[in-house]
Chain A
Amino acid sequence: MDFDLSPELEDYRKKVREFALKEFREDIAQKHDLEEKYPDDLRLKALENGIIDFTNPWKTMLGIEEMCRVDPGLGISATVPYFGAEILLLHGSDYLKEKYLSKVAAGQKIMGLGVTEPGGGSDVAGLKTNAKKDGNRYILNGSKMFITNGSIGDFFVTLVRTADPDPPSKRHRGLSVLVVESAFKGFSSSKLKGKLGVRATNTAELIFNNVEIPQENLVGEEGKGFYYVMEFFNISRVFVAAQSLGIAQGALDMATEFLMEQEKNGISVSEELKFKLSEMATRTEAARLLMYKAASYLFNYKPNPTITSMAKGYASETAAFCAETAMEITGMTGLSTKLERFFRDSKIMEIWEGTSEVEKIVISRMILKGDGNE
């Protein structure tokens, strides 16, 4: 068992960190946080500088971690224009890949994933948005909520109901994935303002009012949508673990710096505070190892949903724990520094891409099925 990253990955990690430290300046991070404004220039810079590299998923994961370590809002913004791409990569036709994905990779388009609905949340299969077949097109009606890139995205990989579930108790049946362009007639979006954190990212509600979707925009097979999305979550949850880990490590960096400064100034630091720092560091390292294990399964084409949910659930709770503990350690000082932004940004990790409760449901279900681990 080798815990070291390859020299190539180590070099990549260093390169991303240098990029983030140079480009994610505090004044820029503050401005985008305060104004709730998406940093489109950083998206393009990250692409131009080879910071975004989807040819190697280990690089994607490490890049997300390093960028979120410097600033979560900007880090997620720089990596999220490709959100949902894996569904197209794995199941999209050549036509869809060429028409949509290639443009995203070239920095010409931004995409998003439309799954969550206003009344749905964790209950993905309970979605209400429907697409009725009409000749060689679908007529789409409904809405999606909390959609990342919702008011800046050019198209959305969207989970919809195309048939009644058969039998009705199997609600996950009859769902399909369609590519919906924001330019299609009947599409509208409404930006959500006043978020607690990750305010540089764009979040919106999407409304579909008789939107006509060409049949060729169906991704994969009709009725397989639920499985595609669940498969995607297995991938994206590893990346959310990376976001979380970045936040945890960033909070640990700041708490460490604060205590070192205290000692340098002759202020005695109690063991109580040092123990808190130790716990932050230990949990962060444990979350990192769990994430590496989940990634190792996933990137070797043998995904393990139990380990993935453990990694996402634990890393997200570690992010919130570390940010909160760093606030406790720094006291008044932390209230008006970038640490407070980390604290606000951290909470969403326990909510999006499956709440902590959903991860626990997955873990316990798999264990009770006797399919938990190894």
Chain B
Amino acid sequence: MNDQVQMLLDNVKQFCEQNIRDIALNIERNRIPDQIFSALREQGFIGANLPSSSGGADLDRASYDAILFQIAEYSPSVAYYVYMNNSIILPLLLKAGKKELAADIISGKERVGLSAGNILEGVGIKTTFQETAIFPSNFMISAGSDGSIALLKGTFEESGRKSLGLRGLGIGIRSFSVEKTEKIGRKEDMEKIFVDSSWEQAAIFLGLSQGAIEKAVEYTKVRKTFNFPLKDYSPVAFRLSELKSDLEMMKFYLFSEDGDREKGLMLKTRAADFSRKATKYALQYHGGYGYLEDFGVEKFYRDSVALNAVMFRTDVDRRILAESIYKSKTGYL
């Protein structure tokens, strides 16, 4: 890890301590508040990886990943918000020549969400649809059944149902009334962006894992059972040490490697699985208290599975990695 990345990690940690730590529970309960959007914008995190000609900060891959990693340790929802804007929405809009809207997103004037599924039966017409939405907003980007990617403008209805995880983003099935649609690309563009951002996705998985592991390490130092702190028991101490070791090795890889696409896929695959394992043990070692939201560890457990659902397509991503290794069509049966 170079000095620049370490310095950035320290700075982002300070930012999170000041802006996120005390309201992390509130983010879970009531979505990301406006003050966070303002703080992200002021800090230059939105657009951090984009070229300066597009209003970005032109950070290199490792530095951008450091931001995502560190924010995810405090709030995976906020980290994903930064990722979805910087790595998916803004590149798609800029590629489609939507510079004005991109600038408005970076400046905080507009917000755009993502919709899963194929809802564009008739691009250009008014329609209503129900689909899983990530960060439902008046602007949504969605894939269409005709192979296109479109920008939708309209309104959505809130739902009382909470998603399993990433609750700060208000993920859920939403009813969306579309007033205007505009094609901004093809599904292949989205697919490429998604696969090319494996490093960023891995950074979020690892940041979340670090948040959970650190909480478990601290808790097991002070929680006693049968007159000994939990850390004195070999299964607890050995398991948490193993998790911490795995995490440190993956962090080293994350911040040291050159950003090669295949290596990113490898890391993402390992980090996705690892996050589920790490958060599960972290919760388990908190016992009954881990089951309560006030202790802040159950959030990581939920978010690891939710992030796996939105960032790691168990079948598709493994096949892409396999094809990258075999250099031919593989793993399709």
Contacts and interface: CB of A to CB of B under 8 A. Distances in A.
B325 interface: no
A34 B305 contact: no
Contact of B288 (A116, A332, A333, A336): A116
Given A194-B293, A335-B163, A335-B171, A273 B315 contact: yes
B318 A272 contact: yes
B165 interface: yes
User: How many interface residues does chain A have, given as a range?
Assistant: 35 or more
A123 interface: yes
A327 B226 contact: no
Contact of A194 (B116, B227, B283, B292): B292
Given A270-B332, A271-B333, A344-B302, A328 B314 contact: yes
Given A196-B291, A196-B302, A347-B291, A123 B163 contact: no
Interface of B is mostly: mixed
A192 interface: yes
Contacts of A328: 305, 308-309, 314
Contacts of B164: 327, 334-336, 340, 343-344
User: How many interface residues does chain B have, given as a range?
Assistant: 35 or more
Contact of B301 (A192, A332, A335, A347): A347
Nearest to A276: B314
Contacts of B235: 357, 360
A130 to B, nearest CB: 18
A83 B225 CA distance: 25
B29 to A, nearest CB: 9
Interface centre among A145, A330, A340 (most CB of B within 10 A): A340
B107 interface: no
Contact of B132 (A271, A332, A355, A360): A332
Contacts of B226: 122-123, 126
Contacts of A196: 283, 290-293, 298, 301-302
Contacts of A356: 284
Given A196-B302, A273-B314, A343-B164, A355 B287 contact: yes
Contacts, number: 117
A333 B287 CA distance: 30
B146 to A, nearest CB: 18
Interface string A112-132: 000010011111001000000
Interface string A352-374: 10011100100000000000000
Given A270-B315, A343-B305, A344-B302, A355 B284 contact: yes
8 contacts: A192-B292, A195-B293, A196-B293, A271-B333, A272-B314, A272-B315, A327-B308, A335-B310
Interface of B: 116, 132, 160-165, 171-173, 224-227, 233, 235, 276, 280, 283-284, 287-288, 290-294, 298, 301-302, 305-306, 308-310, 313-315, 318-319, 331-333
